Structure 1
Amino acid sequence: MTLIELNDSLIYLDREYISSFFEAITGASPETRITRTEGLNTGVKVPLLSAGASSAESKSYSISTLKMLFEVLQQLDKIEEFEHESHQIGSRSSVCWVEGMLTIGGVRVKRRTHHFKFGSDGSPPPESKEEFVAEEKFFLVKSGESKFALITSPDYFASGLDAFPELQGSVVDQVNIPVRALLRVFPAKSAFEEWVSSPLVILERDC
C-alpha cells in the first residue's frame, strides 16, 4: 500500500496511540514539553487527596501521524485478530484487528408511568403513559457473530464522517462501510450484547 492509498483509505486514526506506537517501535525521541498548571487559588477548598496542580505533556515530531502510520503499518499487521471465544467479561482488554462493516447503532430510552386508582372493586385498569427520554446514536462494527460499539473522538475521523450518526434518519439513510479496524476491546458489553471498544485505526477495505 502506498502512502496515497493509505491516506485515501483512512477513516479513523487515534493520533496519541499511533505516535506512542511509533516511538516504541522506532525509538524516535520527540521534543517533549511538560507544562505544570497550579490550581491552588486563594479561598478555594482543595480536596484532601488532591495535589491541587496538574501537568500536561506535549510532543513534537518531525513527521505527520499519517507518515507514522505508514512507517509502522507492517508492525501493526502483526497484531492478532479478535478472538471471539477467548474474550469475555472479566478478562483483560485486548488490542486486536477486526474485519467487518462500519455502520450506525442507536439506543432509544423511554419511560413508562402507571397511574393506579384504589378504593373500589372493579376499578378500571391502571392508566399508563410512555414518554421519550433520550436517544443516542453511535458507530458500530459488525463482524460475524460479534458487534463492537465504538467510543470515538470526532477529531480522529476523516473529514465529515463524524457527523454520520447525527444525520442518520434524515440526510443519511444507510451506512455500511467495509472496514478493517484496530480496536481496543474492553471486557464490557452494552445492553444489546455489543463489545464496548475504542477504535485506534480504521481503514476502508475492498469488499
Structure 2
Amino acid sequence: MAKESLKTSFDKLIYLDSEFISAKYEEIRGVTPSTEFTKIEGLRGQISIPIISSGIHTQETRKFKVSSLQMWKKINTELYKYPQLKITNFVNYQGTKIGWLDGKFSFGIWNEKVNNNSYENFELDSEGLRVALLTTPEYLSAGFSMLSTASIAIKSNIGIPVNILAKIMWFAENVQTYVACPYLIIEK
C-alpha cells in the first residue's frame, strides 16, 4: 500500500463497515466500549409466558465515545498492515483470507437462465477476475446505497479505481467468481 493511501479522506470513502472498524479499534487501541444487552421479543401481540416464549433473543450494543469515521482515522495506519492479496492465490476449502485488493469497483447483474431471475450486486474487477462483494447498504457512502434501486440505464459504465480491504471467503466455481466481504472501499 502506498504512503499516499494513508492520507485517505472522507471524500474518497465508498464503504466503511462500522462493525469491523469498531472491533479493530477496540483490539488495536485497547479501548473498551460501554456495552448494553437488550432482550428483544418477536411475539406479534401473542400472549407471552416467560418460560415458554419463543422468538426472544439478546442483542449486544456497543457504544464508543468516537464515531466510526474517527475510529477509522485513528487506526488507519494499522489497517494498511494487512497484506496485499493476489486473488489468483486464493484456494477454496483452505479458509478465508483478509487483505487489500486493487481493482475497479462496479455493479454486476447476474441472470439466472432457468428461472429468468436477475440478481444485482456490487463487485470488484481485480486482475481481470470478478469478485462479488457482499455489502451492507448502511455502510455505503451517500449516493452509492441508492444504486440498488436506480435504473439499469445509469448502472452501466461504473468502474471506479479502488483499494478494498476485504475478506475473501470462497470461489464460486459455477459462475467463476470470487466472493468477498468488504470492510473498507476507498477510491484511489
Is residue 157 of structure 1 aligned with residue 160 of structure 2?
no
Match of 2:123 in 1: 140
Match of 2:168 in 1: 185
Is residue 9 of structure 1 aligned with residue 9 of structure 2?
no
Match of 1:124 in 2: none
* Displacement after TM superposition at 1:5 (Å): 4.8
Identify which of 66, 69, 80 aligns with 1:66: 69
Identify which of 152, 155, 166 aligns with 1:169: 152
Q: SS where residue 116 of structure 2 aligns? A: strand
Larger Rg: 1
Match of 1:201 in 2: 184
Superposition pairs of residues 6-155 of structure 1, within 5 angstroms: 6-37=9-40, 53-111=56-114, 133-155=116-138
Q: SS where residue 80 of structure 1 aligns? A: coil
Deviations 1:168-192 (A, max 9, x none): 5323431010000001110242632
Give the AA of the match of 2:93: G
Q: SS where residue 16 of structure 1 aligns? A: helix
Match of 1:121 in 2: none
Unaligned ranges ≥5, structure 2: none
CA contact (8 A) 1:17 1:200 kept: yes
* Displacement after TM superposition at 1:108 (Å): 1.1
Unaligned ranges ≥5, structure 1: 112-131
Distance in structure 2 (CA, Å) of the matches to 1:39 and 1:172: 38
Distance in structure 2 (CA, Å) of the matches to 1:198 and 1:184: 5
Higher helix share: 2
The farther-off stretch of 28-37 and 67-76 is: 28-37
Q: SS where residue 183 of structure 2 aligns? A: strand
Distance in structure 2 (CA, Å) of the matches to 1:154 and 1:146: 24
For the aligned residues, what is the CA RMSD?
2.8
Give the structure-2-normalised TM-score.
0.84
CA contact (8 A) 2:107 2:155 kept: no
Q: Find runs of 4+ consecutive structure 1 residues off by over 3 angstroms.
A: 1-5, 37-44, 50-53, 83-86
Give the AA of the match of 1:87: F
Deviations 1:84-126 (A, max 9, x none): 3542110111111001100111111233xxxxxxxxxxxxxxx
Deviations 1:16-44 (A, max 9, x none): 01000000000111111011235687589
Give the structure-1-normalised TM-score.
0.77
Equivalenced residue count is 182
CA contact (8 A) 2:6 2:76 kept: no
Distance in structure 1 (CA, Å) of the matches to 2:97 and 2:78: 17
CA contact (8 A) 2:6 2:77 kept: no
CA contact (8 A) 1:32 1:57 kept: yes
Q: Return closer, same or farther for 1:199/1:42 CA change in 2, 3 Å cut-off.
A: same
